């Protein structure tokens, strides 16, 4: 993936403007990774963690690629005003496991509590967007795919402002973003047929508000993709404005952790395509820390609302539901071992299984996962 020409010019200008203070920058390198194994109770469908994965796990063919990833991050501080962040990682998506550049931006701290970033950044669609790839920073083995698997554009090229301030007992953060979304691919398989689709848009805009008070954190978000197109084999299947609304809340007192997040997708188009990709999704999760051990449970749902989910799925729009139980064990500093068991129920509309026809005969699938998360 390449940065757009306009962003490269802007980044060059910022670099030149601060060049006199960059003689001795402070550079810090860190990394993260997950080594994960997934299997299920069926050979008739492949379990995937998102639609950008072209294959997944089955009963007889357990898989190391669904959750495994490796990433590196470089944080550079040039002076009191300018800094830069670069992050790349390797995982299975878009048909291969080649490295992806998720972050590459310059940041200017323009005033107390306010910074402006230019370059490539993560799209802040969800509660955990900033570290959705860092398994060690999360209590569960994987974020619920019913929610986090729905919006596939993880990064964008553009500009972002972040303002943090306090009001009474509240810590408040306002994040505004605008730019061009990086493209992505989706994969579907029905029987012996395998299809690939591409999704692109003219521009992306996002606004997010976070409130934190004591053990409570709340978040509201909105992401707009203008003139989004979903294309397969050179033909445009859907074209419109793709809007995501999100609301989340978290309670964490150091022992008890509870979270909930709800998202709404609205496909705004003219004519018969209006609303064709509308959907809703949510999750509820809770866990309790007993020293280094944290058992948890998560329930999540994805409900298609529009007729667009029927394409290639033989005509049903079924809600997908997942009940997961698991545990995190911090076996050593910077290492966490996790195990998770899930029961996935749905119907023909279950797009997260690589072959959703399986759901006609077996509406329930058990998924078993083991992962080692680490940071360095």
Query: Each residue of 286-317: pLDDT tens digit?
Result: 999 999 999 999 999 998 888 776 654 444 56
Mean pLDDT of 343-364: 60
Q: Within 10 A of 73 (CB to CB), how many other CB atoms are there?
A: 18
CATH no., domain 37-69+123-375: 2.40.160
Q: How many CB atoms lie within 10 A of CB 77?
A: 15
Per-residue model confidence as pLDDT tens digits over 102-130: 899 999 999 999 999 999 999 999 999 98
- pTM greater than 0.85 (yes/no): yes
What's the distance, CA 231 to chain centroid? 21
Angstrom distance (rounded) from CA 118 to CA 8: 9
Higher pLDDT, residue 360 or 182: 182
Q: Does residue 221 surpass a pLDDT of 90?
A: yes
- Quote the CA–CA distance of 88 and 52 in Å, as a whole number: 17
Instruction: Select the more confidently predicted residue: 195 or 280.
Output: 280
**Which position has the higher pLDDT, 208 or 50?**
208
Taking every pair of Cα atoms in the chain, the longest distance, rounded to a whole number of angstroms, is 67
d(CA 345, CA 104): 39
Question: 56 vs 165, which has greater pLDDT?
Answer: 165
Which residues lie closer than 8 Å to 338 by C-beta, 6 or more apart? Answer: 135, 140, 141, 326, 327, 328, 329, 369, 370, 371, 372, 373
| Structure-model confidence comparison of residues 234 and 156, the more confident one | 156
Confidence of residue 149 (pLDDT cuts 50, 70, 90): confident
Is residue 196 predicted with pLDDT exceeding 50?
A: yes
pLDDT the model gives residue 358? 47
State the pLDDT at residue 314.
42
- Tens digits of per-residue pLDDT, 36-66? 999 999 887 788 887 777 777 877 889 999 9
pLDDT exceeds cutoff 50 at 357: no
Token couple for 227: 């003139």
On average, the pLDDT of the chain sits at 85
Look at 238 and 116; give whichever has higher pLDDT.
Answer: 116
Locate the DSSP E strands across 314-358.
320-332, 335-345
What DSSP line would sit under 48-103, residue for residue?
-SSTT-S--B-SSS-BSTTT-EEEEEEEEE-SSSEEEEEEEEEESBTTB--EEEEE
pLDDT of the residue at 78: 94
- Candidates 361, 357, 359, 345; CA nearest to 313 is 357
Q: Is the pLDDT of residue 364 over 90?
A: no
- Please give the average per-residue pLDDT across 203-231, as a whole number: 93
Q: Domain coordinates of the chain in residue numbers?
A: 37-69+123-375
């Amino acid at each position: 993936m390449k940065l757009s020409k306009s962003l490269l010019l802007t980044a060059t200008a910022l670099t030149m403007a601060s060049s006199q203070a960059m003689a001795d920058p402070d550079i810090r390198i860190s990394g993260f990774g997950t080594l994960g194994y997934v299997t299920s109770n069926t050979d008739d469908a492949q379990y995937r963690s998102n639609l950008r994965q072209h294959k997944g796990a089955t009963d007889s063919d357990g898989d190391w690629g669904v959750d495994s990833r490796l990433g590196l991050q470089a944080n550079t501080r040039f002076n009191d005003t300018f800094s830069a962040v670069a992050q790349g990682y390797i995982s299975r998506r878009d048909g291969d496991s080649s490295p992806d550049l998720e972050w590459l931006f310059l940041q200017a701290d323009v005033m107390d509590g306010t910074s402006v970033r230019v370059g490539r950044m993560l799209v802040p669609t969800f509660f955990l967007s900033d570290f959705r790839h860092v398994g060690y920073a999360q209590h569960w083995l994987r974020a619920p795919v019913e929610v986090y698997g729905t919006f596939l554009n993880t990064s964008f090229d553009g500009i972002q402002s972040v303002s943090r301030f306090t009001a009474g007992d509240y810590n408040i953060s306002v994040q505004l973003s605008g730019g061009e979304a990086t493209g992505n691919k989706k994969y579907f398989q029905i029987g012996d047929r395998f299809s690939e689709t591409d999704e692109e848009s003219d521009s992306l805009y996002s606004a997010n508000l976070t409130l934190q008070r004591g053990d409570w954190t709340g978040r509201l978000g909105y992401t707009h993709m203008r003139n989004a197109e979903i294309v397969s084999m050179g033909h445009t299947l859907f074209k419109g404005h793709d809007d995501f609304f999100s609301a989340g809340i978290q309670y964490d007192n150091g022992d008890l952790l509870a979270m909930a997040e709800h998202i709404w997708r609205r496909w705004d188009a003219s004519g018969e395509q209006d609303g064709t990709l509308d959907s809703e999704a949510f999750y509820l999760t809770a866990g309790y820390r007993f020293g280094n051990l944290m058992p948890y449970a998560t329930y999540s749902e994805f409900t298609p609302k529009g007729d667009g989910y029927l394409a290639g799925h033989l005509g049903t729009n079924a809600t997908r539901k997942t009940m997961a139980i698991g545990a995190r064990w911090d076996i050593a500093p910077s290492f966490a071992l996790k195990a998770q068991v899930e029961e996935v129920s749905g119907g023909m509309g279950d797009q997260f299984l690589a072959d959703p026809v399986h759901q006609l005969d077996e509406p329930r699938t058990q998924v078993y996962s083991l992962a080692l998360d680490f940071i360095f």
